[in-house]
Structure 1
C-alpha cells in the first residue's frame, strides 16, 4: 500500500490550515492566561486552580473552530475526516486496546530503564483541578478525554499521516507522525510513551480504516492517565 487509507488527499494547504489552528490555540490560551493574571493582580487574589482547564478549553475551542472553518472552506466534508463506521470489525478493539497499552507500557519501561528516564511529577495545576469543585472536575474530563483526543487524532492520524503517506510511503509516514505526536508532549518520559502509543493509534486507524480506532485507544489512554493521577494524589493525601 503506497497511499493513505482515506481517499481524500491531504495537501500542503490543508496542513497550513492545521498550523493556523494551532496558532489560534496558543493565542486563545495566552489571552485567557493574561486576562486571569490581570484580574488576579487587580483583585490581589491567588491564581484560580481552574486556570489550566479554562486555558485548555479556550485553546482547543479556538483550534477546533479555526480548523473546521478552514477545512470547510477547502471543501472538506465530515466524511473526509475519516470517522467511518467500524461495523462488526470494531469488536476487535476489545482486545486491541489493552494489548496496545500493555505493549506501549512494556516498551516505555524498557526504554526508561536503558536511558535512565524518570516520569515527571504531575503538574500542580492539574492536581488542584482534580481536587477542586465538581464542575471543574467535569470540565477537566471533557477537555482531557474528549476535546484533546478528537483534535489530536484529526491532526496526526488524518492530516499529518494523510499528507506523509503520499510523500514518503505508509511505513515511514506511520513512524514519522508517531514521533511527531510524541515530541509535542515535551516531557522526555512522556515523549517515549506517546510515541509508542501514537504508533498503536496509527496502526488501529489503518486497520479499521477509521479514526474511531485511534480515537478509542486515545480516550482509554487518557482515562487511565487521569485515573492514575487521581490515585497517586489520593495516596499522597
Structure 2
C-alpha cells in the first residue's frame, strides 16, 4: 500500500466516506433552515428576516465542519494528520507563487471567455436600494465564513482527503487533476467553475510542493479575499 505522497498518514475509503456523510449532513441542515425561512414567510406573510439568511450559511458550514471533525477524530485523525505542517524555509516562495497562479488563472479564463462568450454571466448585481441594504447587513458574517471557515473546510476535504485517497490508486497526476475538476464543478456557475478549477489546481500544486496544507490555504484565502473585495465594491456603489 503506497502512502500519501506528502503526508505520512494514508487516506482510506472510510476517511472519504466521512466527507460524504458531512456533505449530506450539511444539505439536511440547509433544507431545515430553508424550510424555516419558508414557514416564516407563509405564517407572517413577510419576507424572511436577514438573520435567517445568515443562519443558513452558518448552519451549513458549521454542520459540515462539526460532523467531519467528529468522524475524523473517531478514526484517530490528529491535527498533524490533516496536513497543516509547518512551512519550511521555502515558504517565502509563496510570495511569488500565489500571484503567479492568480495571474495565469486570470489569463486562461479570459482566453476561455473570448472563445466561449456565452459563458459570460449576466449582470446580476443588486440595483434595488433595499437589496443593497440587506446585503450590507449580512455581509460581514458572510465574509468571515467565506474568508476563513470555507477555505479551511475545502482544503481539508479536497487537498487532503479527496486528493489523498486516489494518490494511492491512480497516482499523483490524475488525482490532482480530477480533484481540481471536482472542486470547480461544485461551484455550479460555468465561469466560476473554470476559475475555481484553476485555483484548485494551483492549491494542489502548492500543497504538494510545500508539503503543507497551509500553502494551499494561503492561495485559497487570497482568492476569496479578492472576490470579497469585488463584492464589497459592488454593494457599496
After TM superposition, the structure 1 = structure 2 runs for residues 85-104 of structure 1, keeping only pairs within 5 Å, are 85-104=86-105
Aligned equivalents of 1:90 and 1:22: distance in 2? 32
How far apart are residue 131 of structure 1 and its match? 1.8
Aligned equivalents of 1:206 and 1:128: distance in 2? 43
Q: Does the 8 A contact of 1:49 with 1:128 survive in 2?
A: no
Question: SS where residue 22 of structure 1 aligns?
Answer: helix
Distance 1:205 1:222, change over 3 A: same
Name the structure 2 match of 1:53: 54
After TM superposition, the structure 1 = structure 2 runs for residues 51-200 of structure 1, keeping only pairs within 5 Å, are 51-116=52-117, 117-121=119-123, 130-132=135-137, 136-200=138-202
Aligned equivalents of 1:128 and 1:18: distance in 2? 36
Question: SS where residue 58 of structure 1 aligns?
Answer: helix
5+ unaligned residues in a row in structure 2: which ranges? none
After TM superposition, the structure 1 = structure 2 runs for residues 199-210 of structure 1, keeping only pairs within 5 Å, are 199-210=201-212
| Aligned CA-pair RMSD | 2.1
Aligned equivalents of 1:98 and 1:234: distance in 2? 26
Name the structure 1 match of 2:19: 18
How far apart are residue 129 of structure 1 and its match? 5.0
Q: Does the 8 A contact of 2:125 with 2:234 survive in 1?
A: no
What are the superposed Cα offsets for residues 86-132 of structure 1, whole Å, 9 maximum, x if unpaired? 133222111111111111111011111112220354576x9665422
TM-score (norm 2): 0.91
Aligned equivalents of 1:122 and 1:50: distance in 2? 22
How far apart are residue 41 of structure 1 and its match? 2.2
Aligned equivalents of 1:58 and 1:20: distance in 2? 16
5+ unaligned residues in a row in structure 1: which ranges? none
1:215 lines up with 2:224 in the alignment: no
